Amino acid sequence: MLDIAFAKPALPKTGALVLLIGEGEKPSGVWQQADEVTGGAIDRALKAAEFNGGKGKTCTILAPGAGLSRVVAIGLGKPADLAMRVLNEAGGHAAGAVLREPAGCVATGALQPAQVAEVALGATLRAYRFDRYRTKEKAEDKPKLTKLTLLTADPARAKSAWEPLHGVAKGVFLSRDLVSEPPNVLNPAEMADRCKKLSELGLKVEILGPREMSRLGFGALLGVAQGSANEPRMVVMQWNGASGNGRKAKGKPVAFIGKGVTFDTGGISIKPAGGMEDMKWDMAGAGTVVGLMAALAGRKARVDAVGLVGLVENMPSGTAQRPGDVVKSYSGQTIEVINTDAEGRLVLADVLWYCQQKFDPRFMVDLATLTGAMIVALGHEYAGMFSNDDALAQRLSSAGQAIDEKVWRFPLDDAYDRLIRSEIADMKNIGGRPAGSISAAQFIQRFVNKKPWAHLDIAGVAWSSKDAPCVPKGATAFGVRLLDRLVAEHYEG
Ligand code: BES
Ligand code: MN
Ligand code: ZN
C-alpha cells in the first residue's frame, strides 16, 4: 500500500508536485513558489491549457525546471461543493498522474485536515495493483509510486484524520485481493483461512464445514456444493466494537451477508465457455463482507456487527445436483432446483436464515453477484437495491451518493413472488427471463423473517474493465466503503 505522509507546505527540490486548485483560485503558497522557481513556467502552461481549476480538470507539465520532474494541476471546482467524493477523486487523479514517479508531493492549499485525509484515501485507493502472479514484468514497466506526501498547514491533525481512513483502505484492499485471486487458489477452504486471519484485528471468526452445515440442515447451500471436490464453508465474523471490553450491554448487531461462489460454472445447467473465467469473481459479495468487517475493525468502529459468508464452488460432476432436484433449506422451506446456475440465491437462503436464528440482527444487508439481468438493467454504474424497509433503503442510497458507490432501488411485489411458485415444492429457484433480478430478490425475501433487509445485486459493479479515479480496473470492492459509511452515519456511538 502507498506510504502516506503529511508535512508542512514546502516546495520539493526534486520529483513530482501535484497542485490541488479551486475554481478561479489565484497562485499562493507552494503553487506560487513553484511558479517563481521555474520562471513562470507553471503559469504559462496553465494559461495555455485554459486550466481554471474546474472540477475534474487536470493539466500535466513535464520537466518545468528547478529539478521538478513534473507538476500536475488538478481542479477541485467551486469551494461550495467540495463533497467527499470530489476530494477522493482529486486524490485518485493525483496518484494516477504520478504513478510512474517513485514519490510525489501534493499541495493541498487551504483544505482542512479531514479533507486532506479524504484526498489521501482517494490516492491510496487508486494506487492499488494486484501483481502477485506477474513474475516477468520489467521494473520500468511497473508503476513506481511508493510514497505520497500531502502538504498541509496542520500535518498532525491530518494524520489523525487519516488513521481511520487507512483502516478502511486496508479493508478495500483485502476485498480486491480476494476477488482478484484465481479460482484454483481461492477455493472455499482457502477463502475461509483468509477470513480466519481477521482475528488478528480483534474479530471473532468461526468456520463451519460441510459436517456442521449438514447437521444444521443447510440443504440449499449443500446442494450447490455437492458437485465440487472442494468442500464448502460458512464463515461467521463478529466485531464487537460497541459492546466489547465491557463498554455496554450487548444490543442487536447489524448484519452483512455475502454470496461467495468461488467459481460458478453453472453446474449441470452449464454456462457457455466464452467469458466463463469471469465467474472467479462470483464471490465478490463475500469479498465485500470480509473487506467491510476488516474496515470496521481497522478503524475501531463503535458498532456491533456480524458478517457471514457462504462459500461454495458450483461444479458439474457425477455428484452434482440435477435440474429437478428438490432440496430442503435450513428454514424448512423446500425448493425445486430448476436451473443449477441460479445457485447464489440457494447459498444466501441458508446463510440469511442462520444469521437471523443466531443473531436476531437489527437489520441485514446481503450482497451478491446474483443475476446477469442486473447488468442488462443498470450496466456498470449502479448496483440494484431491493428492500423491505424504506428507511434502510434511503440510508443506503444517500451513503452511496456520498462516496460514489451508487445503488438504485427496484420494486418487490407479490405479483413478482408468484413467478417462483412451484408445482412440487414451496418454491422454484428461477422465475423466468422477465424481471429476472426481481424474481431473484423475491426468492431471497422468502428467507427474511420480518427483519429490515436490503439486497444489493452487484453483478454489474463488482468488476470493472476501465480505470476510474479511485478504482483501477479489476476488482472494485464495491460495497465496502458504502456499508462502512452506512454504519458510520447511522449505527455508531
Ligand atoms: N453469478 C451469476 C450471475 C452473473 C452473471 C454475475 C454475469 C456476474 C456476471 C449467477 O449465478 C447466474 O448464473 N445467474 C443466472 C440466473 C438464471 C439462471 C436465472 C443468470 O443471470 O443468467
Ligand atoms: Mn450461476
Ligand atoms: Zn453465480
pLDDT digits (tens, 9 = 90+) for 91-139: 999 999 999 999 999 999 999 999 999 999 999 999 999 999 999 999 8
Q: Is the pLDDT of residue 355 over 90?
A: yes
**3-state SS of 165-199?**
HHHHHHHHHHHHHHHHCCCCCCCHHHHHHHHHHHH
Given this model, what pLDDT does residue 245 score?
Answer: 67
Interval 157-172 mean pLDDT: 98
Residue 436 CA to residue 207 CA, distance in Å, equals: 32
* Ligand number with the minimum distance to the CA of 276: 1
CB 346 within 8 A of CB 335: yes
**Given 147, 271, 328, 409, the catalytic residue:** 271
Domain ranges of the chain: 3-153, 167-490
Residue 350 CA to residue 256 CA, distance in Å, equals: 14
Atom of ligand 1 nearest to the CA of 372: 21
Residue 59 CA to residue 404 CA, distance in Å, equals: 24
Distance 429 CA to ligand 1 centre (A): 12
Distance 340 CA to ligand 3 centre (A): 10
Render pLDDT for 11-22 as a digit per residue (tens, 0 to 9). Answer: 999 999 999 999
Q: Which residues contact 325 (CB under 8 A, 6 or more apart)?
A: 223, 336, 337
Q: Is 122 exposed, middle or buried (0-12, 13-18, 19+ CB in 10 A)?
A: buried
- Give yes or no: 271 in active site: yes
Q: Where are the beta strands (DSSP E) in 300-370?
A: 304-314, 326-328, 334-336, 363-368
CATH fold for domain 3-153:
Leucine Aminopeptidase, subunit E; domain 1 (3.40.220)
Render pLDDT for 452-478 as a digit per residue (tens, 0 to 9). Answer: 999 999 999 999 999 999 999 999 999
Superfamily of domain 167-490: Zn peptidases (3.40.630.10)
Q: Is the pLDDT of residue 446 over 70?
A: yes
Atom of ligand 1 nearest to the CA of 369: 6
Residue 281 CA to residue 9 CA, distance in Å, equals: 43
Copy the grid coordinates of residue 488: 458510520
Q: Which of 371, 375, 428, 433 to mutate to test the pocket of ligand 1 (most atoms within 8 A of CB)?
A: 371
Asked which of 64-73, 78-87, 293-302 is least confident by mean pLDDT, the reply is 78-87
Count of CB atoms within 10 A of residue 490's CB? 14
Given this model, what pLDDT does residue 140 score?
Answer: 87
Q: Which residues contact 257 (CB under 8 A, 6 or more apart)?
A: 285, 289, 307, 308, 309, 310, 348, 351, 352, 355, 364, 365, 366, 367
Given this model, what pLDDT does residue 80 score?
Answer: 83
Q: Is 280 exposed, middle or buried (0-12, 13-18, 19+ CB in 10 A)?
A: buried
Residue 181 CA to residue 281 CA, distance in Å, equals: 9
Distance 475 CA to ligand 3 centre (A): 16
- Between the alpha carbon of residue 241 and those of residues 298, 308, 475, the distances in Å are 11, 17, 28
Count of CB atoms within 10 A of residue 451's CB? 17
Given this model, what pLDDT does residue 251 score?
Answer: 87
Interval 279-304 mean pLDDT: 98
Q: Which of 339, 341, 419, 433 to mutate to test the pocket of ligand 1 (most atoms within 8 A of CB)?
A: 341
* Ligand number with the minimum distance to the CA of 429: 1
Name residue 126's amino acid. R
Distance 386 CA to ligand 2 centre (A): 19
Distance 369 CA to ligand 2 centre (A): 9
Buried b (16+ CB within 10 A) or exposed e, 394-417: ebbbebbebbbbbbebbebeeebb
Confidence of residue 317 (pLDDT cuts 50, 70, 90): very high
Query: Considering the entire predicted model, what is its pTM?
Result: 0.98
Residue 131 CA to residue 150 CA, distance in Å, equals: 26
- Per DSSP, the chain holds a count of helices (H) and strands (E) of 15, 19
Given this model, what pLDDT does residue 146 score?
Answer: 96
Phi and psi torsions of 255, nearest 5°: -130, 140
- Calculate the average pLDDT of the chain: 97
Distance 370 CA to ligand 1 centre (A): 6
Render pLDDT for 243-267 as a digit per residue (tens, 0 to 9). Answer: 986 667 778 999 999 999 999 999 9
- Give yes or no: 345 in active site: yes
Q: Which percentage of the chain shows pLDDT scores above 90?
A: 96
Beta pairing class for 334-336 and 363-368: unpaired
Q: Is 391 exposed, middle or buried (0-12, 13-18, 19+ CB in 10 A)?
A: exposed
Copy the grid coordinates of residue 29: 503558497
In this structure, the residue with its CA closest to atom 8 of ligand 1 is 459
In this structure, the residue with its CA closest to atom 5 of ligand 1 is 372
Sheet holding 15-22, edge to edge: 3-7, 147-151, 103-107, 15-22, 68-77, 58-65
CA neighbor of 197 nearest in space, from 207, 187, 209 = 207
Q: Up-side HSE of residue 476: CA atoms within 13 Å toward CB?
A: 26
What residue ranges line ligand 1, CB within 6 angstroms? 264, 282, 339, 341-344, 369-373, 430, 436, 459
Buried b (16+ CB within 10 A) or exposed e, 75-98: bbbeeeebebbbbbbbbbbbbbbb
DSSP state of 153: S
Phi and psi torsions of 331, nearest 5°: -70, -10
Q: Is the pLDDT of residue 84 over 80?
A: yes
Given this model, what pLDDT does residue 244 score?
Answer: 83
Q: Which of 224, 265, 282 to mutate to test the pocket of ligand 1 (most atoms within 8 A of CB)?
A: 282
Q: Which percentage of the chain shows pLDDT scores above 70?
A: 99
Count of CB atoms within 10 A of residue 325's CB? 18
* Ligand number with the minimum distance to the CA of 369: 1
Residue 197 CA to residue 294 CA, distance in Å, equals: 10
